[in-house]
Structure 1
Amino acid sequence: MATPLTRFAYDERLRDYARGQLASFERIAQPLGDLKAAAVAVVLSSYDGLGSVLLTRRAKSLRAHSGQWALPGGRLDPGESAMDAALRELEEEVNLLLPANSILGVLDDYITRSGFRITPVVVWADRDTRGLKPNPSEVASIHSATFSDLAKDHVAKFHVNSDEGTEILSLQLTLDQIFAPTAAVLYQFREVVLMGRDTRVAHYDQPPFAWR
């Protein structure tokens, strides 16, 4: 059954509902240790007047993870918070400038195989984002994943990595099959905000192509 949020038009009711879901969620932070701190922006935007999440295709010219699906984001600058980094990366990658009060909440940290601690910051964009211009040195194209697509039954796919005994997570969206770490963040957003479930995703693995 569709949740109330998937039926909302992209308006203040949706924003307030999402903020409330995130406020009641007790996020889990991971120690940084020797990891590199990074943040991604889970941007709630409008697609044909309904809720969606902004996704990007990384530029093929990038040395790491070229051509892969991603959320806007990157490493924290010295002294920078994850929230500030997420907003900065949004402006740098897709030319979307948003104020600090657009932040709705934060999901669990996710540690990648390549040595990053990713902090997902959920952000409200008060506009339709389909006219955004990507920074071609970082982003090849900008896309949207609708809430109705994310909320579909059986959208999550789980594959056993028999070599290491771990479980790899992907999402089968209309856009494409998207793998962790991006899929892990999107799946937790789906579970916490769309479905009202405190689902954890830190234990889900990435396929080798996503981190080598």
Structure 2
Amino acid sequence: MSATIDRDGVAARVSAFPRRAADRPDLKHAAVAVCVICHDGVPALLITRRAARMRNHAGQWALPGGRLDAGETPAQGALRELEEEVGLTLPPDAVLGLLDDYVTRSGYVMTPVVCWAGEVGELTPQESEVARIHRVPVADLDVEPLLVRIPESEQPVIRLPLLGGFVHAPTAAVVYQFCQVACRGLDTRVDHLEQPVFAWR
């Protein structure tokens, strides 16, 4: 059973987490927003379905995020992407901390930025990138993942159930670590968890 999800508890657990950064200057740097909202009083994460016409990772589940601009910190980039992709503007003090960097098969170091938005109103997807915005209760995501072996890798692919299907790494790895760290206070690592082959490009 996970701990109660409130801003103070999440902030305390994330700040106490011994985060690991990936020292990979050869890769591009991106940030994603692990954004907690309160939907009808229930803590939820904002998860998007990427637009079908996007050049990369079309139609996949994702957290709001993208490549950092020059001179931008992960926190600044995550807040900018939240505003651009879903129309949610948050102040800098909405950021509670960072989770472990995740190195993607497509050549990015992804930094997850934990944010607390609380109650929010209507959100507007950026049509060129986001097909739909989902508010998924944290309790629905705080479950044991499915680990699947594939011939292309020695590491297991992580899957989390989501709306009748599955979300895969990197999003699944980040969400799983958030639940382990922010909800349960566990120092669970996910950098070894693999992406499905279709996400390697």
> TM-score scaled by structure 1?
0.91
Q: What code does the residue aligned with 1:149 have? A: D
Structure 2 CA distance for aligned equivalents of residues 118 and 158 of structure 1: 21
SS at 1:17 equivalent: helix
Q: Does 1:28 align with 2:20?
A: yes
Aligned to 1:136: 127
Structure 2 CA distance for aligned equivalents of residues 26 and 39 of structure 1: 18
Aligned to 2:48: 56
Aligned to 2:147: 158
2:113 to 100, 117, 121: 121
Aligned to 1:169: 158
Aligned to 2:72: 80
Aligned to 1:10: none
Structure 2 CA distance for aligned equivalents of residues 210 and 20 of structure 1: 33
Compared with structure 1, are the counterparts of its residues 123 and 28 closer, same or farther at alpha carbon in structure 2 (3 Å cutoff)?
same
Residue 4 of structure 1: CA displacement?
A: 3.1
Q: What code does the residue aligned with 1:180 have? A: A
By relative contact order (CA 8 Å, sep 6+), the higher-ranking structure is 2
Structure 1 CA distance for aligned equivalents of residues 178 and 66 of structure 2: 19
Structure 2 CA distance for aligned equivalents of residues 46 and 31 of structure 1: 35
> Structure 2 stretches of 5 or more lacking a match?
none
Aligned to 1:38: 30
CA contact (8 A) 2:34 2:45 kept: yes
Aligned to 2:197: 208
Q: What code does the residue aligned with 1:170 have? A: R
Structure 2 CA distance for aligned equivalents of residues 127 and 32 of structure 1: 37
CA contact (8 A) 1:5 1:17 kept: yes
Structure 2 CA distance for aligned equivalents of residues 146 and 157 of structure 1: 19
Residue 42 of structure 1: CA displacement?
A: 0.3
Number of residue pairs the alignment of both structures matches: 201
1:96 to 53, 72, 88: 88
SS at 1:4 equivalent: coil
Residue 190 of structure 1: CA displacement?
A: 0.7
Aligned to 2:2: 3
Cα RMSD of the aligned pairs, angstroms, is 1.2
Residue 162 of structure 1: CA displacement?
A: 2.2
CA contact (8 A) 2:161 2:167 kept: yes
Structure 1 CA distance for aligned equivalents of residues 84 and 162 of structure 2: 26
Per-residue deviation, residues 54-106 of structure 1 (Å, max 9, x unmatched): 00000111100011000000000011111100000111111110000000110
SS at 1:52 equivalent: strand
Residue 173 of structure 1: CA displacement?
A: 2.9
Q: What code does the residue aligned with 1:148 have? A: A
Structure 2 CA distance for aligned equivalents of residues 20 and 195 of structure 1: 11
